[in-house]
Amino acid sequence: MARPRQFDEQDAVVRATELFWRRGYHATSVRDLGDELKLTPSSLYRTFTDKHTLFLRALDHYRATDSAQAERLLAAEDRPIREVLRDWLRWLVTCPPAGEPGRGCFVVNTATELG
């Protein structure tokens, strides 16, 4: 009988998204993922099959969160398009707090790296 998971799978996907976004697909090893997610390689493989599958889940998570936020900002029909685009561009280029460098768009970064 298999043991129940001792971690939250969705939380692991969120943390993997952050790691892939920060480092890129090729620069992120399975060991890096295990350290970041606090999982053994066997738990990673049992849950996500492989690094590529976890990466695809991370992209899906990004699309459902950050990309959805961009879509909401651009869907403001009650304001002039100039204001909508200005606010969207400001949101897009705003750097994270604490002086961290901006990471850009995860989808564009992925297309650049893997394209």
What is the DSSP code string of 68-81? HHHHHHHT-TTS-H
Q: What is the pLDDT of residue 6?
A: 73
Which residue reads 């001792």 in tokens?
6
Q: What is the pLDDT of residue 36?
A: 94
Q: What is the pLDDT of residue 70?
A: 81
Q: What is the pLDDT of residue 3?
A: 58
Cβ atoms of 83 and 61 within 8 Å: the answer is no
Q: What is the pLDDT of residue 110?
A: 92
Domain boundaries, the chain: 9-95+102-108
CA gap 65, 6 in Å, rounded: 25
In the predicted model, residues of the chain with pLDDT beneath 70 are: 1-5, 95-102
Q: What is the pLDDT of residue 38?
A: 92
Q: What is the pLDDT of residue 96?
A: 64
CATH topology of domain 9-95+102-108: Arc Repressor Mutant, subunit A (1.10.10)
